[in-house]
Structure 1
Amino acid sequence: MAETLAVLFTAGTVVGLLVALGTELDDVRRWLVVGILTCTGGSALGLVVAGRRVPRVVLQALVGGSAVLIALAVLVPVDALSAVALACLLAFVVVDSCYFFSRRFAVGHVLGGFVVVDSALLLRGDVAAGTVLALNTIMVALAVVTHRLAVRASGASSDPLTGLPNRRAFDDALQDLVRDGGTASVALLDLDHFKEINDTSGHEAGDRVLLRVAEVQLPPGALLARHGGDEFALLLPGRGGEEAVVEVWRLCDRLVDTGLSCGVAQLHAGESAAQLMRRADGALYAAKAAGRGRVELASAARVAS
């Protein structure tokens, strides 16, 4: 979200600068342009520097604030054509809101953008109401399409039964964690005798067991994903191997009616995601071989890729 918003703020800065260079401005408008470009350029730079450390609420505030900046920019040009061109920057607000925010927040940002930008266009007095409505129609269509694409994209990274991240989403998160470095562990959790549950009680009973695991309370910062079939994968940032084993045992205690075999591996410096997962898989195999219902910690030795 931060990266995308940084790109949009940068593009807005460039567009505003190009329009300003082609327009004769009085002192008031000139200082208004300087203020707007300082806000957009500074926001873009701040997002690039801060990156993932930016809280979500700050990103939402920046999206809402950008609509206000667009409305102010609309008042700068002398000619109506340049004003409408700047108003089209509202598309950035629409795309960002509908792709990253929930429907409630997205609708709020889009409607708020319409109010402030439309008001600025009409306040000028040289932009027809029909032109404003036409611009709004385009933005609504863009919002609908973007939201549908966001829904499809989220479906590609989530498990349809449990709603958890799927293997693809887990692998992406793991790659990011390995790239960032630091202390982290992963755990593979396998349901004991899951095939017997399906065979004796039916697939609906098996689905209920999977949902029970999906709804378990997780440690802060942890990511649980359905890795496939009856296997789950747990990502534990900031936790070493021994601490991760304790956390996994706590999780198993919350699922006392569900038998689990678990393998845990701590990330080591220079280790790839594939190597880490192989060690976790080896620990899981050891837990099963030792009688199931156990949590095993992988050795520090790395598996060759």
Structure 2
Amino acid sequence: MVETLAVLFTAGTLVGILVALGSELSPTRRLVVGGIVASTSLATVALVTVGRRLPRRVLEGLVGGSALLIALAIAIPLEPSSAVALACLLAFIVVDACYFFSRPVAVGHVLGGFLAVDGSLLLRGDVPLPTVLALDTIMVALAVVTYRLARRASGASSDPLTGLPNRRAFDDALQDLVRDGRTSSVALLDLDHFKEINDTAGHEAGDRVLLRVAEVQLPAGALLARHGGDEFALLLPGRAGEEAVATVWRMCDQLAGVGLSCGVAEVRAGESAAQLMRRADGALYAAKAAGRGRVEFAATTPSRGRR
């Protein structure tokens, strides 16, 4: 999301510069255009440098604020063709909103963008209403197509039973976590005696156990994925060592009656995602070998178990 926003903000900045260069503006109006271009440039720099640490609401605010900037730029006396060119930037808002936001939030952003941009075009008085409606038709079609593609893409990265991210989505998030360089940990969680549950109580009973794990309350920033079969994987950004182990124990405590063996590994500098997961898998194997129902930490010193 951050990378896409940065690309679109960069493109919007270039469009603003090109429109300004192609229009005859007074010094005052050039100053206003320059302020708008400077605002989008600063937003781009912020997205590139600290975007991954910004709350989602801030990112949503950037998308919503873009519509107001576009409307303000259109209100500056420009040639009608330049105003329509700026109005086409609404496509960026449509793509962002429909691809990354939930349906209610996306609809709100798109409608807000239409009101701001269409209102600014119509208030000028030199852009015909049919032209504005033609632009809206294109944007609505783009919104529908983008939303449908986003839902399909989401389905490709989520587990159909639990709704959790699948292994593919987890691997992508893991790569980002390793590149980020923060102190973090991963955990592998395996259901104990899951085959026996399926064999004795049926697959529906096994599915209910999987769904119970999927509904566990996670700490802020954590990501739980179904890694395959009866195994789950957990990302714990900002947590390492004893704190990560304690977090996994708290998750296990929420699942009374569900046996879990867990292996935890802390991210090491210069380590690849594959190496990190091998250490977590080794800790998981140690938990099973020690009698199951345990959380083991991949470390050079013996880990402590609570069960």
How does the TM-score come out when normalised to structure 1? 0.93
**Number of the residue aligned with 2:137:** 137
Q: Percent identity?
A: 78
**Number of the residue aligned with 1:288:** 288
**Number of the residue aligned with 1:62:** 62
**Number of the residue aligned with 2:305:** none
Amino acid paired to 2:254? R
**Number of the residue aligned with 2:119:** 119
Distance 1:182 1:53 in 2: 11
Distance 1:247 1:54 in 2: 24
Q: Does 1:152 align with 2:152?
A: yes
Distance 1:175 1:78 in 2: 46
Amino acid paired to 1:72? L
Distance 1:54 1:220 in 2: 14
Give the superposition deviation at 1:62: 1.5
Distance 1:155 1:26 in 2: 51
**Number of the residue aligned with 1:173:** 173
Contact 1:23 1:77 in 2 (8 A): no
The DSSP-based 3-state class of the residue aligned with 1:11 is helix
**Number of the residue aligned with 2:195:** 195
**Number of the residue aligned with 1:107:** 107
Give the superposition deviation at 1:47: 2.0
**Number of the residue aligned with 2:9:** 9
Gaps of 5+ in 2: 302-307
The DSSP-based 3-state class of the residue aligned with 2:160 is coil
Give the superposition deviation at 1:77: 4.9
**Number of the residue aligned with 2:304:** none
**Number of the residue aligned with 1:300:** 300
Q: How does 1:258-273 map onto structure 2 within 5 Å?
A: 258-273=258-273
CA 1:219 to 1:84, structure 2 compared with 1: closer, same or farther past 3 Å? closer
Q: Does 1:216 align with 2:216?
A: yes
Contact 1:20 1:77 in 2 (8 A): no
Gaps of 5+ in 1: none
Amino acid paired to 2:169? A
Give the superposition deviation at 1:272: 1.5
CA 1:291 to 1:95, structure 2 compared with 1: closer, same or farther past 3 Å? same
Distance 2:92 2:137 in 1: 15
Distance 2:186 2:65 in 1: 39
Distance 1:200 1:131 in 2: 67
CA 1:65 to 1:219, structure 2 compared with 1: closer, same or farther past 3 Å? closer
Q: How does 1:73-84 map onto structure 2 within 5 Å?
A: 73-84=73-84
CA 1:292 to 1:46, structure 2 compared with 1: closer, same or farther past 3 Å? closer
**Number of the residue aligned with 1:72:** 72
Distance 1:151 1:181 in 2: 31
Give the superposition deviation at 1:11: 1.1
Distance 1:113 1:260 in 2: 48
Moved more, 88-97 or 214-223: 214-223
- Superposed CA deviations along residues 143-168 of structure 1, whole A, max 9, x for unmatched, are 01111111111112111111111111
- Superposed CA deviations along residues 106-157 of structure 1, whole A, max 9, x for unmatched, are 1111111111111111112121111111100000000011111111111121
- Superposed CA deviations along residues 74-122 of structure 1, whole A, max 9, x for unmatched, are 2335421221111111101111111111111111111111111111111
The DSSP-based 3-state class of the residue aligned with 1:281 is helix
- Superposed CA deviations along residues 26-76 of structure 1, whole A, max 9, x for unmatched, are 244223212221222222222222221222222222211111111122233
C-alpha RMSD over aligned residues:
1.7
Contact 1:63 1:97 in 2 (8 A): yes
CA 1:6 to 1:59, structure 2 compared with 1: closer, same or farther past 3 Å? same
The DSSP-based 3-state class of the residue aligned with 2:187 is strand
Q: Does 1:226 align with 2:226?
A: yes
Contact 1:194 1:206 in 2 (8 A): yes
Contact 1:94 1:139 in 2 (8 A): yes
**Number of the residue aligned with 2:96:** 96
Distance 2:41 2:265 in 1: 43
Q: Does 1:52 align with 2:52?
A: yes
**Number of the residue aligned with 1:236:** 236
